[in-house]
């Protein structure tokens, strides 16, 4: 037994050398097939603050992310790139009190084998202050007024007090919490969620504090004052457009107006509309835009602009015209050939504005048959119509196809 143990001791160096050599060969083989790569991770790693006493608060801006470079086998890199949640960065503020600190950034990777090579930045300055709170009434601020003729009633707030929390250096500046409600041009009840803000005694916003609740709901009744009334505007148009034209649209701006009377009974007795003074469009052949006063009863006035803009659209009446026996005009025929066309006349139907159709002359329309490069033979061809007056459309041509026979004239013989 002693001899066996002595022999083992004698061979131990050789055994260890062989083991080390085997491990070295294995590592070299692994590196050859799956080499370790050092890369900068392409995404920023979010920094988590851990361990901070809930009665303290960080008062300075700290980086939200850090950059890291890692060493990992080539086969593992795709997993790291696809799963950034495997990489964690944090600063540990446990057991820290009020003061200024330089804290080391810790990076951990939930994958192996991965080595963190560099971190940027490696540390962060952290300023810690005690967390204070104030319980303050909410001041509803209305910097604007409702529409003319309307007034705001008593607002109803879903909550009248709020708690503002933050570092003592900021909380000490806060004198009030405001909810700012814009009621400009309001003519109906308001129901709105409003974000609260903290302000100092000079009315300047104090930022980097939290308010609970962050928003409140405000209901504000808006009612019309006595003697005021909103009515729609109806444009009054008289006369007829020129012959061949028609009235296609009329509009007003504004669509509604606010009327006022010192006697509320007068405006209350009005219908829900008011008419403009009449606009005469007799003989019009183009659009018209004019500003006209309203036709108001005695004792009633308009609030704001005293005139209404009326826009009238006048368009030509569309129609059609049929041109019978329109001669076909031949172009491009080889002068050495003769031609017979059947039929020689076609019917053309045009459409467009009636005034344009009324002014149409026969010379304004050409029916053309192009015989360019055609050799002797019989053809079925489509003539085309050209109209020299813009705005007219060719609706049809009948017949659409004509027969064309191109011939070589007989050669004259001597003595014939």
The per-residue pLDDT of the chain, averaged, comes to 88
pLDDT band at 23 (very low <50, low <70, confident <90, very high): low
User: Strand 190-200 vs strand 215-220: parallel, antiparallel, or unpaired?
Assistant: antiparallel
Give the pLDDT band of residue 147 (cuts 50, 70, 90): confident
172 DSSP 8-state letter = T
Higher pLDDT, 381 or 29: 381
- Distance in angstroms (rounded) separating the CA atoms of residues 155 and 218: 7
The answer to whether the CB of 322 falls within 8 A of the CB of 394 is no
Q: Structure tokens of 20?
A: 């080390």
- Residue 369, beta-bridge partner list: 330
Q: What residues does CATH 2.170.120.30 cover in the chain?
A: 36-121, 318-407
pLDDT of residue 150: 85
Long-range contacts of 53-57 (CB under 8 A, 24+ apart): 53/93, 53/96, 53/97, 54/131, 55/130, 55/131, 56/96, 56/97, 56/98, 56/128, 56/129, 56/130, 56/131, 57/128, 57/129, 57/130, 57/131, 57/166, 57/167
Q: Where are the alpha helices (DSSP H) in 2-73?
A: 2-33
Confidence of residue 145 (pLDDT cuts 50, 70, 90): confident
- Res. 6: pLDDT tops 70: no
Structure tokens at 35: 């080499």
Give the model's confidence band at 24: pLDDT under 50 very low, under 70 low, under 90 confident, else very high. Answer: low
Q: Please state whether beta strands 190-200 and 174-180 pair in parallel, antiparallel, or not at all (unpaired).
A: antiparallel
Q: Which CATH number fits domain 130-224: 2.40.50.140, 3.30.465.10, 2.170.120.40, 3.40.462.20?
A: 2.170.120.40
pLDDT given at position 17: 66
Name every residue whose Cβ is closer than 8 Å to that of residue 155 and which is 6 or more positions away in sequence. 140, 181, 218, 219, 220
Per the CB < 8 A criterion, the answer to whether 331 and 370 are in contact is yes
Taking 80 as the threshold, does the pLDDT of residue 276 lie above it? yes
Identify the three-state secondary structure at position 184. coil
Closest CA to 258 of 250, 248, 266, 267: 267
pLDDT of residue 389 exceeding 60: yes
pLDDT in tens, 159-169: 999 999 999 88
Task: Return the SS3 of 8.
Answer: helix
pLDDT value of position 32: 53
Contact by Cβ (8 Å): 259, 303 = yes
- H helices of 100-152, in order, are none
- What is the predicted pLDDT for the residue at 2? 58
Locate 182 and state its tokens. 């814009």
Each residue of 127-140: pLDDT tens digit?
Answer: 999 999 999 999 99
Distances (CA, A) of 292 to 65, 274, 275, 296, 310: 65, 13, 10, 12, 7
Question: Can you tell me the distance from the alpha carbon of 57 to that of 49, in angstroms, rounded to the nearest whole number?
Answer: 11
The predicted-structure confidence for 77-105, as pLDDT tens digits, reads as follows 999 999 999 999 999 999 999 999 999 99
Contact status, residue 177 vs residue 199, Cβ threshold 8 Å: yes
CATH no. of 318-407: 2.170.120.30
Residues of the chain with CATH 2.170.120.40: 130-224, 228-316
Q: Given this structure, which CATH class describes domain 36-121?
A: mainly beta
Tell me the β-bridge partners of 131: 167
From the candidate CATH numbers 2.40.50.100, 2.170.120.40, 3.40.1440.10, 2.130.10.10, the one assigned to the domain spanning 228-316: 2.170.120.40
Tokens of 290: 């004019």
Task: Give residue-wise pLDDT tens across range 323-353.
Answer: 988 999 999 999 999 999 999 999 999 999 8
Alpha-carbon distance of 133 to 201, in angstroms, equals 17
Please check whether residue 313 is in contact with residue 285, taking contact to mean a CB–CB distance below 8 angstroms: no
Say whether 385 sits in a helix, a strand or coil: strand
CA 197 – CA 118 distance, rounded (Å) = 42
**Length of the chain counted residue by residue:** 416
Cis peptide leading into residue 357 (ω within 30°): no
**Distance between CA atoms of 145 and 21, rounded to whole angstroms?**
89
User: Does position 27 have pLDDT exceeding 70, yes or no?
Assistant: no
For the record, the structure tokens of 110 come out as 């939930």
Q: What is the pTM of this model?
A: 0.50
Query: Residue 78: what pLDDT?
Result: 92
Could you give phi then psi for residue 282, rounded to 5 degrees? -60, 125
pLDDT in tens, 214-252: 999 999 998 888 888 888 999 999 999 998 899 989 999
């Amino acid at each position: 037994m002693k001899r066996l143990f002595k022999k083992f001791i004698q061979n131990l160096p050789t055994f260890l050398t062989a083991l080390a050599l085997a491990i070295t060969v294995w590592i070299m083989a692994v590196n050859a097939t799956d080499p370790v790569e050092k890369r900068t991770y392409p995404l920023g790693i979010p920094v988590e603050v851990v361990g901070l006493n809930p009665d303290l608060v960080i008062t300075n801006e700290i980086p939200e992310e850090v950059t890291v470079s890692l060493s990992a086998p080539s086969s593992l890199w795709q997993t790291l790139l696809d799963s950034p949640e495997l990489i964690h960065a944090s600063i540990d503020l446990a057991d820290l009190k009020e003061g200024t600190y330089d804290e080391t950034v810790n990076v951990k990777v939930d994958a192996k084998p991965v080595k963190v090579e560099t971190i940027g930045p490696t540390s962060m300055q952290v300023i810690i202050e005690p967390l204070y709170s104030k319980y303050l009434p909410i001041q509803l601020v209305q910097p604007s007024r409702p529409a003319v003729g309307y007034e705001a009633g008593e607002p109803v707030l879903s909550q009248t007090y709020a708690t503002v929390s933050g570092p003592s250096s900021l909380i000490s500046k806060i004198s009030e919490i405001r909810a700012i409600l814009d009621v400009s041009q309001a003519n109906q009840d308001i129901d709105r969620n409003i974000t609260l803000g903290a302000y100092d005694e000079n009315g300047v916003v104090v930022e980097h504090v939290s308010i609970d609740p962050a928003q409140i709901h405000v209901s504000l009744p808006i009612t019309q004052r006595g003697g005021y009334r909103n009515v729609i505007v109806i444009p009054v148009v008289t006369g007829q457009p020129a012959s061949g034209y028609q009235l296609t649209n009329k509009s007003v701006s504004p669509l509604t107006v606010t009327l006022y009377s010192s006697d509320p009974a007068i405006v209350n007795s009005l219908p829900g509309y008011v008419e403009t003074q009449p606009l005469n469009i007799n003989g019009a052949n183009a659009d018209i835009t004019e500003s006209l006063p309203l036709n108001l009863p005695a004792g009633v006035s308009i609030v704001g602009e005293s005139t209404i803009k009326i826009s009238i659209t006048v368009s030509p009446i569309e129609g059609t015209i049929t041109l019978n026996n329109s001669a076909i005009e031949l172009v491009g025929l080889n002068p050495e050939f003769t031609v017979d066309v059947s039929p020689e006349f076609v019917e053309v139907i045009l459409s467009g504005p009636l005034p344009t159709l009324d002014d149409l002359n026969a010379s304004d329309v050409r029916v053309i048959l192009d015989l360019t490069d055609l050799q002797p033979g019989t053809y079925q061809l489509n003539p085309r119509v050209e109209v020299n007056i813009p705005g007219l459309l060719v609706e049809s041509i009948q017949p659409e196809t004509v027969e064309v026979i191109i011939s070589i004239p007989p050669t004259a013989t001597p003595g014939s």
